[in-house]
Amino acid sequence: MGLTGWRLLILACFMIVGIKVTKFFIELYCVRRKFQRMQKDGLPMPPHHPIFGHLKLMGEIVSQLPGDIHRHVLPHQIKLRYPNLGPLFYLDTWPFGGEILVVVGPDAAYQMTQSHPLPKFHAMREYLKPMTGGNDLVSMDGKEWRKWRSIFNPGFSAGHLMTLVPDLMKDMSVFCEILRKAASKSDIVIMDHLTTRLNLDIISRMALDTHLNSQLETNDFVSALLNQLDWLSFGHEVNPLQRYNPIRPFMNWWNSRQMVKYIWGELDMRLKRRNVDGKGIQGTRSRSIIDLALDNYLASRPGDHTINAMDTAFRDIATSQLRVFIFAGHDTTSSTMCYALHLLWTNPKARQLLIAEHDMILGPDHKEAARKIEEDPYILNRLSYTMAVAKETLRLYPSASSARSGEPGYFMSGSDGLQFPTDGFMVWSNSHAIQRDPLYWPQPNEFLPERWLVEEDHRLYPRKGTYRPFEFGPRKCIGQELAMIEMKVFLALTSREFEIRSVYEEWDTLHPKAGPRTIEGDRAYQILSGAAHPSDGLPCRVKLVRN
């Protein structure tokens, strides 16, 4: 290439950069001007800067909080600063977080999830695609979503899940043995690591009838899934080296390949089991969620209900569904288990009431609890205070919130009749803010399981629509029944045999770090790691409790 050619190439590069920079500033101007007009028209939002939008405000708030905080706690922090914002308000975080309509009231949340269910936010699909492959229930919409939701619904019904409790107990017994060993060593354990692998074993057994045994040994599928978590990105990172990491696409591809390889092998085994002795759909089979889904899929096809090779369409979509079930099923419940342990340790009265219920329903000898639950899984339905502990844990520490895409011509109504445009906005139902709002919850920051047991006329009785850890509407979490069964079994098997105490003060002495380490005095604040998890993984010490 001659000198003239190089000059033309350099000129072309400068032109491309110039066009992109010009486009950026034009879009910046348009977004900021749009919000300035909205603010002038009386639409609620925090004070808006004509150049920085709400980025300056967000920076001020974040600077006073730990650096690894989960971003779904920010709307609550904004409401603390501006309590008169109301149940709907706008945020301008472009170009890092986009244009957002924040929903922090139950009536407004009802509009976007039930009366007019909005589609899932497009960025969520892109975020999950490396983990799920993209053909999952979270990413689907319309007829396709309805078809596959109906296929998988029976596997997540309470009645079917109760038949799987004896299988669930196998993984719980391994977890309890790990805790016994931890108690004998007296070392600090990172509880989130233990509950994560426990839930990976449980959800894979429930969904796929496969035994990962990840609590005791390494597994290629588990290694790929956990590594993929570290590489997931919304593309909103401020650091360009993180935002545009050139290694990320390769790691996403490699981890996805490992997960698909494992699941395809398991699906092929399911097919062989079904067709043993030529019995087809009536043959001997496991009771896993995927087997019930395959039953429903074959029943929906015209003609012969046998299958001699794994149907490509079913295999591809089932693989995505299993990946999202295993990801979401382990990620959210593992966090809730940790927070339940932390809250019970810091609230000894609640712990004593929990133990008293287990003594009464499951018998005074904790060693008999597992046997009684296996023999009669429906005994779990009698553990009302245990259920209340699980629900109150999820109220204080919801694992996620719901982001939807606004639509042209669709407006949400405020309590005063004000109309809120949604087109072009991420509409964010923020359960964390709703579930800690003193307008709806007396003593909102206190752990009070009894609020779930009082009569309707009691001041603690939860207001309808204010408890949203699983969301409402047709797209509510498909796995909520499984999550609550797991929580009841987990608490029933751990509350009396072990004293599990969070040891953040000791941990901070061993691992000093500059900057804020609490949010509103809470050291176990939520961080982003897939779902919301306890900071530093909830360091704990475990002690055996003698009868």
Q: How far apart are CA 439 and CA 437, in angstroms?
A: 5
Residue/partner pairs of 292-301 with CB below 8 Å, 24 or more apart = 292/154, 292/155, 292/160, 293/151, 293/152, 293/154, 293/155, 293/318, 293/321, 294/270, 294/318, 296/150, 296/151, 296/152, 296/154, 297/151, 300/151
Q: What is the Cα 463 distance to its own chain's centre?
A: 23
Residue 347's region, left for phi above 0, alpha for psi from -120 to 50, else beta, is beta
Pick from 431, 387, 373, 399: which is nearest to 526 by CA? 399
Strands (E), 75-219: 88-93, 98-103, 189-190
Q: Give Cβ neighbours of residue 474 (< 8 Å, ≥ 6 apart).
A: 117, 149
H/E run at residue 543: strand 539-544
d(CA 472, CA 476): 5
The CA-to-CA distance between both ends of the chain, in Å, stands at 85
User: Is residue 477 within 8 Å of residue 471, measured between CB atoms?
Assistant: yes
CA angle (529 as vertex; 526, 533 as ends), nearest 5:
35
CB 547 within 8 A of CB 505: no
Comparing CA positions, the residue from 499, 502, 491 lying closest to residue 385 is 491
Spatial separation of the C-alpha atoms in residues 213 and 464, rounded to whole Å: 41
Using the Cα atoms of residue 430, residue 432, residue 433 and residue 435 in order, give the sign of their dihedral.
positive
Q: Residues comprising the binding site?
A: 477
Question: Cα(192)–Cα(201) distance, rounded to whole angstroms?
Answer: 14
The residue to which tokens 């074993």 are assigned: 201
Q: What three-state secondary structure class fits 301?
A: coil
Binding site residues for heme, as ranges? 477
Which residues does 300 contact at the CB level (< 8 Å), separation at least 6? 151
Using CA atoms, how far apart are residues 533 and 70, in angstroms rounded to an integer?
A: 8
Q: What is the dihedral of CA 66, 69, 74, 78, to 10 degrees?
A: -10
Query: Residue 309: enclosing H or E segment and its boundaries?
Result: none
Find out whether 450 and 388 touch, Cβ atoms under 8 Å: yes
Burial bucket for residue 111 (CB in 10 Å: 0-12, 13-18, 19+): buried
The vertex-51 CA angle with 47 and 56, nearest 5°, equals 55
